[in-house]
Each structure stands twice: as C-alpha cells, then as structure tokens.
Structure 1
C-alpha cells in the first residue's frame, strides 16, 4: 500500500488543532491494521468473484456492451433447461485457478471494465482519518470510478465539535485534503467549498410530521445542483463540506447526514438523462445519470452491531422490517464503540426510500476499501445473512465486515388459511416455479395442514410450512423480479426464526404474527429434486440430507434450541452423532414426505 504524507496549505492554528485531533484518537501511532497491500485493480475484481447473474445485473445498470474487436465470448447464465424455482440466488462458485478457467474469468472482467454509462453514488467520508487511512479510502473510490460509479463525496469530521474556533477552516481543510488524495491516485477532484443545500426541512415535506422518521435539516432543489452537474460532466469527483445556506445566504456547518439526505432527494428529482447512444464510444464528458445508485458510509466504526451475532456487524439489513427493532435492541456498550451507527441507519432508511428499488447502502470502515468493489459488482453482502452461524467461513466475519442495507419488504406471518390471498399466492408460485399450480387441490390441502406462511411484501415471496406432523417446508418462492434484492435471505431468516431457530435469543425478528422468539424450536424438513441447481444453496443451510432414490433429496434443519440444551447438559462430553430423540426420525420423515401429493398440474 502506498504510504505518503500530503502537506497542507493552512494556517498554523488550524494545522495544530487538526494534528491534535488525530493524535487524540490514534495516538501513539498511525500503524493501523488496514487491508493487506494487494492494490491491483483486477485482483480486487477477482476477489469480488461475480457470478454471471451478478455481471448481467451490473451490465444492466451501467449500460455495458462488448467491444467490436475482438469479439468477446458471451457470458452464459448456467440455468438448466428444466423448470426450477427462480427464487434462490446462484451463489458464485469457488474461484478456479488461472490455468483451469482463465478465459471465462477474463471475459467477465473485460465486460466489467467497459462501462459506457456512468452512475452516481453518495459517499460520506466520516473521519477524521490518518493519511494512511485516507489514502486507502480514496484508492477504493478511484477504483469505483473506473467501474463507472462516480462518487459525490460529503466530508465529515466526528472529532471536530460544533462552534469551535477555526471550525470552518478545519472543515474546508478536510475537504481539500480528500481532494488531494483522490488526485494522488489519478482521479480528478473538484472541491466545492461553498454550500449547495439550504438550511431547514424541505417545504411541504410530507414526512415532516411523521413519527420515528428522520427528517433532514437541509434541503435542495434540482436547480441547486448546477455546480455538481458541471463537475460530473467534466469527469470530476465533487468533494463537498457539510455546509448549508441559511435564510441570509450565509453558509453554516450542519450534520453531513443532512447534506447527504438533501442531495439524494434533489438528485433523484433532477431525473436521469436520456440513455447515451450505445453506438458512441465511452466519453469522460458524457451526460451522467444523477440518480444515486449507492449510498456509501465510510467510517471508523464499520457496520451496525448485531444482537444476533454477539456484537459483530449485521451482514444484511431489511430496513423496512428490521430498523426499529435494531434500534430497540442496541446495547449501551455499542453506543460507545459505534456512536453513529443508529444515525447512519436512519440516514440509509431516508435515502433509500427516495432512491431506485435496486439501490443499496453500505456501511464500511476504512480497513475494507476493496469491499466497495464487491458490493458494486454483486450488490450482495460479503457473506449470506441466512447462512447458519456455525457455517460462516472461519475468520470471514470480523468487526471490519461491511453491513449492506436494502429497503427490503415487510414480513408477516399468517396462520389461518383464510388469511391467504389465493390469487396472489398462485401467481407467485407459478411465476417462481414456471409451472401451473393445481390451485383447488393445493389450497384444499392447506385448509387442514397449514402451520404458518411467511409473506414478503405484497406476495413478492412466501415460505409455506405445513404440519405433517413435523414442520414441513412445502413451498419456498420469490418472484423473479425480486431475485437478487435480498428477499431470499430475508425470507429464510424469518423462516429460521419461526421454526428451527425458535426459542433462541437471537431469533427474534419482529414480524407481525410471528412468535417474537418465544417458544420451542422444531426440526424443519423439506425435499427438492435431485437435479435442482438450488440444492447447493440448500446444502449450505441444512443440518443434513438423504437421497430419496434418484429423483429427490430430503433436507432438514435440526431444532437449534434442543441441540443447545443437550449440549449444555452434557458439557465437555459434546454431542453424539445421533441423539436419542433422533433415532428413527429420518425414516418417519421419508415415509410421510413421499406421500405428499404434487401441487402441480
């Protein structure tokens, strides 16, 4: 990693105050545990390990096209010809060696490296950072620009109190310092030292009187973005201080969150230009879509601590369903270690509500800049949030793991068959499985056997569990349009909390109609066709499986509370391979499952 120091042209008083701020937090040394120094841009893309589906989604956002010479090999989506549920994401396979699969991998990289349609991201650089840390952060931002995502940066200094002497000079110095580091890495930066937003809530804002809503204390109109648009047209990265104009046109310091929230709304209102002519070559002066595609919060804290992960970061947050619960379960100790986590959570919720449905937010600390590349290309968390805790790769989940935030969907648990909207559920199942449902027979069976159904949004996804007499996952489906937006993981986490995870302290997702974590967990059983490519995803989440002839695979997840209770009783003796209550259960499951009728015509 390049290490250097940039000299600042500022007054001695400001320089002294700034240096004291850094020493107070980072004394006695700048030697932080930042990422290992593999700065190669291509290697960063390889580490993201995008699947073909990830690449196609990225291409859709950035308007990519293959170069005419040489003609690249097409990127094939490895979907089988037979109908399968389209609701489970195709997780990337382990990265092959260069000798094993060099050509397809280079094809993916070549596609990613040819953006012809640039998009924007709102970025909060929430310092203060040492020179070494800021160098790492700015390197990551320049990498994103090479991939077509241009950052609009707002600079914040958490250690600079409001109203101190030379406050404005220090804030402007921070802004210039970020711009200098960006240019050191080959970027073109435009520090905009004036205020682009106006003080006070947006007039006639419908959210002003809403309870539990974050209302920004600043606003902007599309006409206020002239300087921003000019910088982006010139291929420059705007770097802004957290300033706002008051009613007397004086600039005053405000919270960076207010500036970002105001800019997001104004940039969305400004609308996107007509798509550039795909026959023209990429141009650094091409019109750019102002509508933000990402919100990135780069700070010293990292992601949001999770009650379900002993304080390690949340991997993926469904803001619609989880944000208030996360705030209510935020432990006092985290307010010291992560003092801005909840305010950043509120900022993400406000911004994503105005951004396109495919947009996401990421909270990451300065030690993980390359994770921004992975998030841009895949729009997924670093690790799947629905994986069992024990099966997360050792050492992969750390305090530095980013938190990905999506608007998400509300989740509700229905227990009465009459509560199901049969036309909407039929549409969901038929589109997901690409088959025709035998609706009368299917719903007649649910009248007597339904245990519960988890519904995501307006039937964008569903998990249907029946009593057989054990808990049987009869259907698990998500509309194709919601594939890749986190709905699959959100739905499986809710399923865990209502079945095999029930009764554990961390299985308390606050879904209306759910058990709220209270009760006894039960083994969850399901089956899948042996040739279903989704089985890889199931294998990663199941406690065990058994082949049912050549056509089917039986999966199950053990009731976690029962296993924990037995493990506590035995102490150091540990669990046996087969516990007493497990003898014969697989045979019972097999006999029952094989008699369950098909739901399809």
Structure 2
C-alpha cells in the first residue's frame, strides 16, 4: 500500500514579498480542488503570462493528493510553536480554579498572546522559498527566451527561485570577444525575466573557483560520479545570497577564478556542479548557525537545491526503447552506463549534449537531497516545469504498458526527461540470497500488517521464481510459480508481493521496480526489455503475469492503468498482464482483421487463474 512521505522545509521569504507570496499560495491551494477536471485543458500562450495562464498550468499538472501534500510540505507555511507567555518581573501569580476554589477570576486578555485567526495566520505566515539550479543552453531567439522566462517566473510564484547559469553552445571557447558575448547573453536572459514581471540580477563576477576542492583528490577515484572541476565556498556565495534576499533571480555567466585570480570562461556544467555542492554545504552551515530570528521569520532562502533544470533545444535524452523518443524517467544508479552504451551514433548530432547533461545530473543529484530530481526539457515545454515542481514525476509514467506509451499523444520529441538518483536493481532467484529480516521489515512497513513468517517463508521455499530488490530492500517484487491440483496444468507466474517502503514512495522507486518486473515477465523477449537489472536482460520468452488485490485497495487505480485486464472475485480483484511478445505475434498474424475475438490460448485461462489464486493462503497474521 502506497503512502506519502512528508518533508518539512525551514526558510521563509523576505518581508517585502510576503503578501504577494501568501496570496499566490492561497490561490494555488484554492485551485487544487478542481485538478481532476483539467487533463484536457488547452495549452496557453507561454509568451504572454497572466494569472489565468498560471492557474491553467497548475491545473494541467493534475497532481494527486500525495503530490499536493508533498508540495505543501516543502513550500507551504510551516506550523509555529505555541507562544510562551511573557514572564514579567515581580508579577504576582493569580490563583486558578481548583476543586476547593470554585470562584474563577476573569483575566483581561493579553493582546500579544491572543490566538490569531486562521485567515490572519495564513497572511502573516508566508510560503517558504526554495532554490533550483537552472542551466540555460543558449543561443535562443527573443521569442524562445520569453517562453523560458515564463516557466521560470511561474516557478517563482510557486516558491521555487531559480539560480541560473548561462551557456552558449554556439560560441566556441577561446574566440575573441567570447566574454563580452557571454555577458550580453546573460543580460538578454535578465531582460527576458524582467519583461515577464520577475526581478533578476546579473552576477557577472566569478562565484566558483577553478579546480577540484582541496582534499578531493584522494577521494575522487572512490566516487561513482564525476567530481566537479570547480568548487566554491559558502563565503563565495555572497552575491547569490544578496540577490535571493532581495527577491531577485541571480543569473550567472560560466566564469571561474583560476589560480592567478583571473576570471576565465569554463564549461557551464562545472559551474552548475560546483554551485550545487557549495549551496548544499552552505545550507548545512546555515542550519548549524540557526537561520531564524527570535520572531520565527528569516530573510534567508533555503539554499539546498530541490531541482536541477536543464533547458535546451534538444529536449530529453533519446531512448533506445522508443526509437529515439525521450526517456521518461531515468534511474541514474542503475541505468547511467547502459544509456551511454546504447546511445545511437546519429544522436550525437541531433542531441550533442545529452550524455554530458546526464553526467551533470548524476553529479549534482549525488549532493542534493534524495527527494530531489533533475529534468532535461526543451524550450518548447516551459509549462512542464510546473508539473515537475508540483508532482516531481515524469510527464508520462515510464511503468505504463509499452503499447500505451507508444500511442500516447503526450509523448513527443520535446517530452522532458526526469532523472532521479535512483537505486540499484537486482534479481534474486534463490531463497538463500534473500535477507529475511530486511524483507520482513519491508513487507510489514509497506502493508502495515504483521507477517505470518513460518508459512510465508515455507511457501516461498517451494514456489519462488525470483525476487526483484531495489536498493537495500527499499522495495521488492516477489514472483512465484503457482499451479492447481491438476498435474497436467502448467504453473502460472504470480506476483505475490509488490512493496515499497513508505519513505521511498514518491521518489520513483515504484516505477523503477515495476519496469524491472515488466522486463522479467510479460515484457521479456522484446528489445526494450534489455535493461541492466541483473536479470535475463531481455533474453527469453515472455509470460503472462497474474496477481490479486483487495477490492478496496486504493492502489487498484494504479494497477488498472498497468494491467491488460481485470476480473472481480468477491473481495478480490484479479489483474493480469499479457505477454507482450505473444500479443505482437497475434497482432501481426491478424493484420487488419482487428482484435475483436478470442484466441485459442485465451479460452479458459481466467477460470484457471481464478482457481489457482483463490487457493493461495494469506501471508498475514489475523
């Protein structure tokens, strides 16, 4: 059963922006009620932002209740501790009513201690402001910059303030006048933001220092990611802090100080990576010092980046599984090397920076909080940044059936690619390799029930086919081979348990786990199932996957979207996914005859599945 994980932020907006931010928060909160009716709303003109366009962009994101709670936890007003009554010197303590003292004195209320009404509290307690690092890969036309600025301004209205680093892919390094050209490009972005109603500040001086941070050399070989070729210290971020305190968006060219204290042009990826690490370290230092003043308010913005956004003309990372259409969700821990190995040679010209941006995302996310994400998006899709902020999910779920993804109108060459730090995925085929204590803890926390251990492990000893483990038992899918009493009946592939720790629900683990399950069962045998999950890597013949869920399980909506079909069986719902290779073979044989009649292999299978599943005992103590 999936539950939400709520995180609490810690910083507030400056007093000069409180009224506007609180008003925006209330508008967003009031809009949430009608989100379910917004899936077919038309795309507004991104170049002409207005309050209507802003609300339409929020509606189009269509967040779930979990998404809304997660957003409010990060950006909504945090609860204030109850005020302590002031202690006045030499004040006589007034008697209170006791069983022996029935008379009750009426004390005039202290105006300073009188509770605030919810409306007043919502105005005086503004939304929190968090930061995002944004890399803009110029050159762009004025119209394209307007579109990009619109998305960034929308994010600021929702509490996410961008720290922007400019790159100009059309300006070769070492050319005469490159510094002036980069400064000019920076000013174009600043002007575009201000035309959309934002305040922006160019930070033209170098904020990062060239070279690895002192002490990194001895640990660089031990890191699974590329250590930045630049670094910064908390004291170097004074100009960025100043801009954020003033309610301005800092915009930086890709400059760094070399060993002779000269400002030189460097790769923007090095600047972004150095800023990510430096801002995280500065935020930790702020936490140790204590950012809030005695009144509970602070002009500081939480420097810990929640998002990394890479805006370019290419869009997302092309996928081998979708004939060059973008990856939807990338598990960097498990898929990074495989994506690089399967990167088609022709994509080096159509998507020249995809792999370097993928590497940048892996480096930055290694320093950012586990709930953070990176998104690679085309300048044509600025409003998708809203959806990423509110839901922290890809535009289309990567765990949906492949046929549905192929025909989905939302999947275009400009669909963004969402990247998460992710978890390693491995397939276990022996009970001896399963850590029973960790598996028990995972199942009980996920289902909120007590496992009946002895019969459960005993049944797995006889019927286990394989188990897919995400990370250190952050999630697991247990698949068994089940059959009825008839000896001639072939066993079915049964999804016995699908569980994710509550702390990892909403961070992509569910989709990563289901994609691996697809590749090992009903998707096996197709080219797009050859993922590096430690299993069969696409080699073999797919099989039907069957499972059951209680009729009142709120997760059933998610199952309905991913299954081929379902059958209601009293308190249970039987779900199944047909082997995709067999479906493709059947479709090819039928040609234009359609799919309106049953195949021979479909007759009687529902009865067989129902009989088998009905006989599987419960795994839980009553």
Same fold (TM > 0.5): yes
- Look up the match of 1:373: 386
**Match in the other structure for 1:478:** 500
Q: Note if contact 2:46-2:150 (Cα within 8 Å) is conserved in structure 1.
A: no
Query: What is the aligned counterpart of 2:256 among 244, 252, 255?
Result: 244
What is the aligned partner in structure 1 of residue 353 from structure 2?
340
Alpha-carbon distance between aligned partners in 2 of 1:415 and 1:308, rounded to the nearest angstrom: 26
Matched, 1:590 2:607: no
- 1:489 lines up with 2:500 in the alignment: no
Residue of structure 1 in register with 2:554 after alignment: 533
Question: 1:277, 1:50 → 2: CA distance?
Answer: 31
- Structure-2 residue corresponding to 1:180: 191
Q: Deviations over 1:289-310 (max 9, x none)?
A: 1111110001100111111112
State the 1:211 CA deviation.
8.1
> CA–CA distance in 1 between the matches of 2:299 and 2:591?
66
1:271 and 1:167 mapped to 2: Cα distance? 33
Rg larger in structure: 2
Deviations along 1:185-230, whole A, 9 cap, x unmatched?
1211110111111111222215533587423221112221111111
Match of residue 160, structure 2, among 149, 169, 193: 149
Change (3 A) 1:463 1:484: same
**Structure 2 residue ranges without an equivalent (≥5):** 1-43, 81-117, 483-490
Structure-to-structure mapping, 1:97-496, within 5 angstroms: 116-205=127-216, 207-209=219-221, 213-272=225-284, 273-274=286-287, 286-392=299-405, 394-468=408-482, 469-496=491-518
Q: Is the 8 A contact 1:123 1:151 kept in 2?
A: yes
Choose from 507, 518, 521 the match for 2:539: 518
1:139-172 Cα offsets, whole Å, 9 max, x none, are 1111111111111100001011111111110011
Deviation at 1:322, TM superposition (A): 0.7
Q: Is the 8 A contact 1:59 1:112 kept in 2?
A: no
CA deviation string 1:78-98 (max 9, x = no partner):
xxxxxxxxxxxxxxxxxxxxx
Q: 2:70 aligns with which of 54, 57, 70?
A: 57
C-alpha distance 183-279 of structure 1, shift in aligned 2 (>3 A): farther
> Could you say what secondary structure the match of 1:252 adopts?
strand
**Distance in 2 (alpha carbons) for counterparts of 1:301 and 1:114:** 41
The equivalent of 2:591 in structure 1 is: 571
Post-superposition offset of 1:258: 0.4
Distance 1:473 1:114, change over 3 A: farther
- Structure 1 consecutive aligned stretches of length 4 or more whose deviation exceeds 4 Å: 33-39, 110-115, 274-282
Q: Unaligned 5+ residue runs, structure 1? A: 1-32, 68-106
1-structure distance, mates of 2:48, 2:412: 18
Q: Distance in 1 between matches of 2:47 and 2:78?
A: 33
After superposition, the Cα gap between the structure-2 partners of 1:377 and 1:524, relative to the gap in structure 1 and judged at 3 Å, is same
Give the aligned partner of residue 57 of structure 2: 44
Task: Sort the Cα spacing of 1:399 and 1:418 in 2 relative to 1 into closer, same or farther, 3 A.
Answer: same
- Aligned counterparts of 1:343 and 1:366: Cα–Cα separation in 2: 18
Q: What TM-score, normalized by structure 1, do the two folds share?
A: 0.83
The offset of 1:565, in angstroms, is: 2.0
